[in-house]
Structure 1
């Protein structure tokens, strides 16, 4: 059992013995980086002390075991016996996704054996301080899963010190090095006591910007041990002289730091957060750890096609996918199937490879680069063949459709709880296999749908009736429309009977508490439509309507609070108005041909909507099977909650084989993987998958609060209501301006009440834009940040023709009926 060993004895793989900080420093020493000499009091020493004193409590006051005291004294003497820095090095520290920055203690300028022993004890004790315990709980790291080592290094009496990031922590630019520096020891910078000098360097080590700091405090070593804080010159900055005689960091030192930082980042394979010191003309590295919560790299200028694809994908993936998403529904669901369809016609890489993963966690979204292949030359022939052979109006007669629906019914009827582990772990693949025929269905029938829509648009153009296109296709009967009508019927019943008057508020499990008759109708609705997604059709982890009936209840409450929505007369009478056109009125044959074209176009729209509706039907089966796997892993103490299974990949679950015979070591590794990914995901909470500005370039207009892509014409004024997720649907009042991060079919009922819609993502062809045009309300898409700029209750005017949102007065709002368009 090694109690004390030199830093060079450890490397990055020795986390269990040396903790994160010491393991990384040892790796640097081994590879020739300038690190002050030192040694490590290992986790074995900590466990020895815990055993000798009967627990972790009270270690700060206990004496070191004699064997350990002797070993520490010998290592200290070999180091020279002078001032040292004593730093905690926990086993859950300085890791990707779990920096634990500042959570355990550090002691500088420690002098003498007794002071060193006391610092070691206090570092041990800091494992249980309030901030460290709270941090571990946030990252769901169990106290018993963490041990601690202590690293002791020769003290560097820094003239200047600070922190270096080998990537820009704000923009994510990996070609930039960012350095914060101040006079004295780096504690002033690390702890935020000082406004440091701020430098940004490019990849060649050139300083591209420097901002002088104020040096409010200088921290330096005190005679006899410890540190002192002295007031610094408030006006000192880059190029000036500090009170202690030190000067701002020389450009040569900056270049050396940037060079070392780049080499450290390359060695560890990821951007690094490095503490450093500069003394006697030399740079020292004091600590290196992976940067956490780092935004994805800037995408630079994207072409129109990549921007359009990125806008679509950002709307469909509004939240960070889990590893289980990336290994199940993402590659095999709508995105994967569309990738197969595109490949059929000679286009590859249009809907694949757009997520960047690190350590098994999705870090960023990068718009794909579609690549034509030789098959593109044959695409016109294939499209023409399919148009002749496959009529979208009869797609439900296709045996493949029956195969999908029958397979889904069979899987939905299986009792997951009664299955053995080997049988249960096969269920996700079976659910994914059920939807495989849909790729062929879409490849065969979409050409007919597209050609039908094109023919109608051209025919209307020849008649000078192109503006009627949206009204005409809005008359298509779709399963989404059926669901919306069923919701309206439930809302009417709730209005008539008061069924929701005493029900629990949105967010509470309320179906069982509803009146029996209404609950029965709601359950029937969920049985038919409950597989619809609440957040994204590309992800399996968010709940479906059936999983989250409170979201459906919120929609019903919202609809019940208003008046009954009348059918849109424009859509209903559009065909009759078209057939009354002078050039059609004179010819029965022309009217019949135009009617067929409208019906064919509507059939195409219905196929697009309904094929999605039916092929997402296995989604609840897939989700429930994954959660049942998670429940069993929780019962086996592998996971803390069933939902933690989302942090694992499907192949990792399948590799277990049989849970009953899986070894403790294998299950332990699986638990460690889930915990590490959960911690890294938690660190990324505030980091966006993609910078909206790259997809939606600013379209400034004088006086505009928010600007985006014009998607549905007209102007409307009303108070803002920010709705971030389906659980808040009931908050929308008639005449509100709906401001949301994304939409999908489950948001459609809100358009019946909103005066206008403003969306962070999407473009003129996105779901929200299409529905807004059908409902005749203004829409602005792709604002990038409307939900963070516009606030509830603020009265605004939405201009759907120009894509701008302006402030409006209360008088302007009350001067017209809620939801009425401005002139």
Structure 2
């Protein structure tokens, strides 16, 4: 219960008494680092001072505290000191609190020292400090403050040192910013500092600063600011050496680097260190963990790693939680892909691609898959499975029927009525259900792959390679079913006025409930995470999609437009409606197939035409299997998520968690260790609270840090005058205003004719494509779901741009070329090149160039160039 104690009385474990700054400095002193002498006014001195008082009023220290401070000051020598706040919630991994509490430099005399301590106490409650804690979820009630008092160093040069590059994350580089005078000029951003970078071999790269301001100690206490030229004139008038306050000698930089690396090694993580140089000596004034540090550069990824990273980035729009890492990531679609590849002899695919720091995911680094012994017989396995398992008939497999029945049984259970022990078993039960679908993928994907390969070879030999993608568009899938069901729901909303203010009409409410019952397990953000809500959990996402669709022209009536929903006994039982030869049924004219069959080599060969038709239908069935098995694979996810949130709700009611969603910061095995929530008390409850708080803090720290540098995945390409380049995903060219949609909650912002720019996509985004002029995505490739659906809708798509959402801004007029993979400025005078494009129903804006094909509905705006083909509806503007 000491009120005041010397720095060397504390170590890193004394956070609660000495605060973050005091604990870290004491640790450095104990281990022989050059730290100015000083003492700590502990939190035991602060607590009685604020007892029963408003802490924001900077309370006066009690008499015993005053005497303890004065005595320690006398033992320190009674000269000028630096007085620094040291809160119990600062200088921590995940919470630097940089500049949130006050520091006072060149404090002289007992009266000034006591006043500085009082003001440091009060700074714990400034508006900025309270707001910072609130953002990090730190409870004000648990925060205390100590004060560090150190002998003042009259620095000639001072600044900040990072023991890792704060921009690139390179742990081999040490970065130093320095300027003349006290380091306050550097840390407060008043100067452009000298910049030093030391690499792992000790080489120094130097960039001179400008020394706009110099802060120095004033006679009698406090500091003064001088303009740079004033400081230089004063030094010259005083006869000071020209080098004084200038560039640090290389040997001093090297010594500073050595100290920095030793401090980082001692604390076991990169450090943010304040330092001063005076009288030929270096002094360390503060050390804290670097926060928001990017993961280390990944170096050069091989083509396979880049391809895997492209897929994974598309699936990871947000950082996984610990509960994701222990449930849906290892057992869901990623686990499925790993199991499929391993069944054919490919090892290490999708293993350990997410790395954790402080028990929170901080880095994505795909491993390089390796062939195992089983790969030698993989061709025979593929051929055998392709011969036995036809993707067109996969829904008739008994395993799939049993899977649907098991899903229905689990969905029907009342989670809220379950006792704790029974509820704890539900997550594992939901995860166990996905295994049959993984087995189905292992069995039926070989047939899919061979059907696609066979068709590709055929169209190449016939010289019709350009038709390949279009030939695959004819497959009816559960994604197209979903989008058509959304169109029908939008039509109900339009007809009943459901989008007007007030309670929705009963007809629309019933239609929405039926839609969610059938399609509600669709993911909103990612298929490989359990933490984001599904459509069923977040119906507002569906309502936003309905608003977008209802804002356009009514959906055209045609075959299948009013297709009846499956009855209760048929729900989800028919993933693909069989057509000829068991292939997915078509509901539109088959133009691509007709053009292929018109080839001279096929025109006169009835057998050849029949064979090609079968091959096309088989390839379409394979595409449908890929889409529909994914649709089915996601069915257990909502049950899993709801069971976890029910566990979180009970932990909240027991006082362990603040909100049910806090359970996401725990791992499944940690939940399973809780014997009975009703008796959860004491140390076990506190341990869980501390774990959740620590991981939440780390997650918040990393909120602005990328999982991987996009440049490592999407290497910069020659762009010419393009704003962006990416993977060309087809669809021609279109021009329109940018609309950046960052997440599903923003779906309602998209207007017809906008260029949709987004960080990622998944099937739940594809209804937006009906009204977008084009789509530009940070992640993904030409084979991603978004690219496939964009081609089906005939809109240009550019995938894997890496930085589209940060480079482009709302309202910016751009031209998207889906064939070249470019996005160019289309503002007047920007010189956007015209090109071929495709019109669609209800697209407002400008279409530049030649529009070929069929335009159905209303095209508003200006159409320049040549319109060929069939135009049904109204063309408004010039043509």
Normalization by structure 1: what TM-score? 0.93
Q: Which of 146, 149, 170 is 1:149 aligned to?
A: 146
Are 1:727 and 2:717 matched, yes or no? no
Mapped partners of 1:24, 1:376: distance in 2: 54
Contact 2:654/2:678 (8 A) holds in 1: no
1:200-599 equivalences under 5 Å are 200-208=197-205, 210-233=206-229, 245-502=244-501, 513-565=503-555, 572-599=590-617
Residue 645 of structure 2: aligned partner = 627
Mapped partners of 2:169, 2:241: distance in 1: 32
Secondary structure of residue in 2 paired with 1:685: helix
Residue 668 of structure 1: aligned partner = 686
Contact 2:360/2:698 (8 A) holds in 1: yes
- Of 15-24 and 717-726, the range deviating more from structure 2: 717-726
- Of 754-763 and 579-588, the range deviating more from structure 2: 579-588
Residue 709 of structure 2: aligned partner = 691
Contact 1:214/1:233 (8 A) holds in 2: no
Q: Alpha-carbon deviations, 1:174-222, whole Å to 9, x = none?
A: 22211111111112211222222222221223212x2222223222223
Contact 1:233/1:243 (8 A) holds in 2: no
TM-superposed deviation, 1:235: 9.9
TM-superposed deviation, 1:245: 4.7
Mapped partners of 1:481, 1:613: distance in 2: 11
Check 1:789–1:490 CA distance in 2 against 1; reply closer, same or farther (3 A cut): same
Where does the alignment leave 5 or more consecutive residues of structure 1 unmatched? Answer: 504-512
TM-superposed deviation, 1:438: 2.3
Q: Which of 60, 63, 70 is 1:62 aligned to?
A: 60
Q: How many residues align?
A: 809
Check 1:123–1:571 CA distance in 2 against 1; reply closer, same or farther (3 A cut): farther
Check 1:65–1:665 CA distance in 2 against 1; reply closer, same or farther (3 A cut): farther
TM-superposed deviation, 1:570: 7.3
Contact 1:404/1:615 (8 A) holds in 2: no
Residue 120 of structure 1: aligned partner = 117
Q: Alpha-carbon deviations, 1:703-734, whole Å to 9, x = none?
A: 21221121214222222222222233333333
TM-superposed deviation, 1:756: 1.9
Q: Which of 597, 601, 624 is 1:606 aligned to?
A: 624
Mapped partners of 1:532, 1:303: distance in 2: 33
Are 1:179 and 2:197 matched, yes or no? no
Secondary structure of residue in 1 paired with 2:229: coil
Mapped partners of 1:822, 1:368: distance in 2: 49
Residue 509 of structure 1: aligned partner = none
Contact 1:59/1:124 (8 A) holds in 2: no
Check 1:696–1:244 CA distance in 2 against 1; reply closer, same or farther (3 A cut): closer
Q: Alpha-carbon deviations, 1:11-33, whole Å to 9, x = none?
A: 22222222111111122222222
- Of 785-794 and 173-182, the range deviating more from structure 2: 785-794
Mapped partners of 1:758, 1:287: distance in 2: 46
Are 1:754 and 2:744 matched, yes or no? no
Normalization by structure 2: what TM-score? 0.87
Residue 575 of structure 2: aligned partner = none
Contact 2:49/2:59 (8 A) holds in 1: no
Residue 22 of structure 1: aligned partner = 22
Residue 40 of structure 2: aligned partner = 40
TM-superposed deviation, 1:55: 4.1
Mapped partners of 1:58, 1:562: distance in 2: 56
Contact 2:735/2:846 (8 A) holds in 1: no
Mapped partners of 2:56, 2:299: distance in 1: 55
Where does the alignment leave 5 or more consecutive residues of structure 2 unmatched? Answer: 559-585, 835-844, 849-858, 867-879
Are 1:715 and 2:733 matched, yes or no? yes
Mapped partners of 2:738, 2:822: distance in 1: 14
Secondary structure of residue in 2 paired with 1:150: strand
TM-superposed deviation, 1:329: 1.1
Residue 199 of structure 1: aligned partner = 196
Mapped partners of 1:736, 1:410: distance in 2: 43
1:161-180 equivalences under 5 Å are 161-180=158-177
Mapped partners of 2:90, 2:437: distance in 1: 47
- Of 133-142 and 319-328, the range deviating more from structure 2: 319-328
